[in-house]
Amino acid sequence: MLIVTNQKHAMMYGLGTVLLWSTVATAFKLALADLAPVQMLLVACSASIIVMAIALVIMGRWQQVFQLSRRQYLQSVGMGLINPCLYYFLLFGAFDRLPAQEAQPLNYTWALVLAYLSVPFLGQKLRRIDILAGLVCYAGVVVIATRGAVTSLTFSDPLGVSLALGSTLVWASYWIIATRDTRDPVVGLFLNFLFGLPVIAVVCGYTAGLELPVGGSLAAALYVGVIEMGIAFVLWSQAMKKAENTSKVSNLIFISPFLSLVFIYFILGEVILPSTYVGLLLILAGLWLQQKKTRDRVQALDNG
């Protein structure tokens, strides 16, 4: 009975996370209407630090922040330069240049990049299905990036596409490094963001400036920090912790991009191009193929 209850709780946390993630692409574009990417990052990172601090107090883990070794604090400095600094600067830069319906699906290819980087850095084997998944996934990337004009290979915004794909490389690299992190995940992310914030503030001060417009864009940036960088991460970590079958919870992420298109259409007013649907389906099909053997292995263990 306890296992069923935990799995139900995990699915509830997972669904909540997916719903929140589905809104952030829209929030990104609303924030970037009046804010530079680095200004948005400064606001969002500051808000997320407050949210994670509150979460740690509520969960009774606040003391862990002060109980780490010097090496672990130095680790947070390095990881903070990767996430939030580099990752979100690239991601927000992509959303600043591309329509949300293009930037959001491209970002989902990070899971495939993670599988590829796991070969040289974690010693995992590259399977034939991984290669097939990559071909399918990046066919979807080409469809979206060219807005359907795949034969011309003329990208709508080469720099924007490069930023989006670059963010997937940084994000996958971050999670490979995080596999060696023995800290509580919320504690670790809190410290990474805390040490990354001064770097973001300095870069913001020397580039876009620290004067922020008051209005909808600022509210949207606060929303991103509270929801995408804060609450959603805490909920997802709880879902993974409580799950008896993590593959079932992980599969919920496939709902998010389609829900996101609904918000993009109705709130941002973007006309969703046919190429977006085709490309998104190809990307999700590739990710499904890449995860298939893992899911089969987990189900075999569950049945055994």
Spacing of C-alpha 253 from chain mean position? 11
Q: Give the model confidence (pLDDT) of 219-246 as tens digits.
A: 999 999 999 999 998 888 888 777 776 6
pLDDT of residue 296: 54
Residue 42: DSSP 8-state? H
Q: Give the model confidence (pLDDT) of 6-57 as tens digits.
A: 778 888 888 999 899 999 999 999 999 999 999 999 999 999 999 999 999 9
Give 10-residue mean pLDDT values along the chain (304 residues). Answer: 59 89 95 97 97 95 95 95 96 96 91 86 82 90 88 83 95 88 91 97 96 94 95 84 72 85 95 94 88 55 45
Round to whole Å and give the CA distance between 193 and 184.
14
Q: How many CA atoms lie within 13 A of 246 on its CB side?
A: 10
pLDDT of residue 193: 97
Round to whole Å and give the CA distance between 242 and 222.
29
Q: Contact, 124 vs 253, CB < 8 A?
A: no
DSSP 175-233: HHHHTT--S-HHHHHHHHHHHHHHHHHHHHHHTT-S----SHHHHHHHHIIIIIIIIHH
Distances (CA, A) of 273 to 9, 101, 197, 261: 37, 8, 37, 11
pLDDT of residue 3: 39
pLDDT of residue 149: 83
- Contacts of residue 17, Cβ cutoff 8 Å, sequence gap at least 6: 232, 235, 236, 239, 252
Spacing of C-alpha 188 from chain mean position? 16
pLDDT of residue 180: 85
Nearest to 244 by CA among 299, 291, 288: 299
